[in-house]
Amino acid sequence: VSLSKQSFRAGPAGSDLANMENESTEVYLTSKLGPDGFVMQSVALDEDEKNTGRLTHCFEFTGLDEDTKYHYILAAEVDTDAGEGWKRAVIGCDNTDTSKEHSFRTAKSSYSSINFAAYSCHDPYSWKAGEAYEGIWPEMAKLRDTLDLTIGGG
């Protein structure tokens, strides 16, 4: 996972996020954003044939600036074999749709009021004629820049 205060897609790194010029993620991003233009954490995830949950991982970044928008991408390294049509930046590389750019805002040090949304993990999607559709997600997307906190519970 890599974080940057500037857009990965609209900035200098956006020229080849799908392949990263066949360089490691760190080498590619350093060449495009400079050594202080991003922060990154890496973890090796193996195939989870027995559904053990090993492919689940939480990243914890410290030292981020408060009340600051950070863009993020999730990228695989150059030697990852994920089949034909594989893109190195698996989240955050679609250059054709800027609404799919992934970002978050860090918390403020203090609040006079707070805007939040909550949803149940039991039905974040809606069902119509026996098939899931986007449900609440289009509405949440409209609010995302006005929310201080989102709670998914269940």
Provide mean pLDDT across the span 100-111: 87
Nearest C-alpha neighbor of 41 from the set 55, 54, 25 = 25
Q: What's the rounded mean pLDDT across residues 105-117?
A: 92
**Would the pLDDT of 65 be above 90?**
yes
**How many angstroms separate the CA atoms of 101 and 65, rounded?**
20
pLDDT tens profile 13-38:
888 888 899 999 999 999 999 999 99
**Mean pLDDT confidence for 95-108:** 74
Residue 122 is predicted with a pLDDT of 61
Q: pTM score, two decimals?
A: 0.76
Q: Comparing C-alpha atoms, which of 17, 54, 52, 21 is closest to residue 38?
A: 17
How high is the pLDDT of residue 78?
Answer: 84
Sequence-ordered alpha helix ranges (H) in 34-128:
none
Largest CA distance in the chain: 51
Answer whether residue 143 shows pLDDT above 70: yes
